[in-house]
Structure 1
Amino acid sequence: MGPGDTLAITVFDEPELAVRAKIAQSGLIQFPLVGQIMVLDKTPGQIADEIEAALLDGYLVNPGVTVTIEAYRPIFIKGAVNRSGRHEFLFDLDVEQAIAIAGGLTDRASRSKWFIVREGEKIPASAKTQVMPGDVIIVEESIF
């Protein structure tokens, strides 16, 4: 989980505790009765366990908490593609597929100078490099 991802949280037989929460830059979400919860880099199961433990502490007898990822933060594609900008993240997306989502390469696009900026680090990418939520894909122009 990371900032910008949206979670759907439900508690069995407690409709008033159903929450749709977008993760803040700080990595926190707000949940009724519990308050703020740090969810950064946790799995949905870990988050559900943490909420269950908090609800067991004086609120509910047998809370069944389910956490699902409703939406991931977008990816960004810039450079020598036909439709640069913000695009929806999809599971099992690689760089080649992301470029296709961005309308393909322009005539001047490099076929080898592709990069991903992930967590502030610019790394070389190939067609089959996996894309993660929040990645910025850069396709440089070819120098003729």
Structure 2
Amino acid sequence: MKRLIGLVIAAVLASTVCVASAASLVLGPGDVVRASVYGSPDLAIETRISESGAMTFPLLGEVQVGGLTTQQAEQKIGGLLEKNGYLKKAQVNLLVTTLTSQQVSVLGQVNRPGRYPVDGPRKVLDMLAVAGGVGPDGGDRVDLVRNRDGVATRETIDVVDIVRKGELNRDYEVSGGDIIFVERAPRAYVMGEVQRPGPLRIERAMTVQQAIAASGGLTPRGTQRGLRITRRDAGGASSTSEAKLEDAVQAEDVITVKESWF
């Protein structure tokens, strides 16, 4: 079920990702651009933007374009060609062939973790879609780590809740250098007389009874009487107590189902 939800989310989001205009791309160090000037084939060039944000252009030498959009860079280069008397009217076109400076890392429990270019306005859900969606072991909440003016911040986004309620305004816009991390879903353990003892994914508002059902139910020798649950507190100390079927399951709980003596 979780895998199906992840794939559905990815498909829905991928279909709604807006196609950004190339003019909105912000140039930065490492980007490779192909430049051409209408009517002047000798001025065509493909070059990489330096660490200082400069690109080399015929006749002009180094031109600072770092931090400019492609449209702004086109206007700047065209203006310099006209100002220096090389052309009366310069129509410059820039095409980014390799986008290196504006990349977001999508890590953790996604289907295709990696670094992806931010080729225009993008939000967290957009980038999750690009990375193939949340994987079958991924949790519902996603961390977004951003660095703005030397200050690192972390935001947590409840992806499933946003999609279910259609509240896309709660999503966050991303930019180059951001990190999106999908944690592994919380787990509990059901031991003893159940059909499939071992770890299981904790679904929202899961009860002890639901956890036992997710483990295949009781064996012929199992009983719902005398259920025990072992839980760690905030300090890491564990304690064991009687469990009721309606009790909520928490991360790392160990539920023990006893053998019936009757």
TM-score (norm 2): 0.46
What is the deviation of 1:138? 2.0
Question: Which residue is 1:136 aligned to?
Answer: 179
What is the deviation of 1:98? 1.9
2:113 to 71, 74, 84: 84
Contact 2:110/2:134 (<8 A) preserved: yes
What is the deviation of 1:76? 2.0
1:4 to 14, 24, 30: 30
Q: Considering only aligned residues, what root-mean-square deviation do their CA atoms show, in Å?
A: 2.8
What is the deviation of 1:130? 2.3
1:98 and 2:98 equivalent? Answer: no
- Structure with the higher fraction of residues in helix conformation: 2
Question: Which residue is 2:87 aligned to?
Answer: 60
Identify unmatched segments of 5+ residues in structure 1: none
Say if 1:102 and 1:66 are closer, same or farther in 2 by CA, change over 3 A: closer
- Paired residues, number: 144
1:20 and 2:46 equivalent? Answer: yes
In the TM superposition, 1:33-48 aligns within 5 A as 33-48=59-74
Identify unmatched segments of 5+ residues in structure 2: 1-26, 160-170, 187-250, 252-262
**Alignment partners' CA distance in 1, 2:131 and 2:79:** 43
- What per-residue deviation string (whole Å, max 9, x for no partner) do you get for residues 45-67 of structure 1? 32223212322314233322233
Aligned-partner SS, 2:122: coil
- What per-residue deviation string (whole Å, max 9, x for no partner) do you get for residues 16-44 of structure 1? 21223332332111111111111111122
> Which stretch of structure 1 is more off in the superposition, 61-70 or 51-60?
61-70
**Alignment partners' CA distance in 2, 1:18 and 1:59:** 14
**Alignment partners' CA distance in 1, 2:156 and 2:39:** 46
Greater relative contact order, per chain length (Cα 8 Å cut-off, separation 6+): 1
TM-score (norm 1): 0.76
1:109 and 2:109 equivalent? Answer: no
**Alignment partners' CA distance in 1, 2:67 and 2:138:** 35
Question: Which residue is 2:154 aligned to?
Answer: 123
Say if 1:63 and 1:82 are closer, same or farther in 2 by CA, change over 3 A: closer
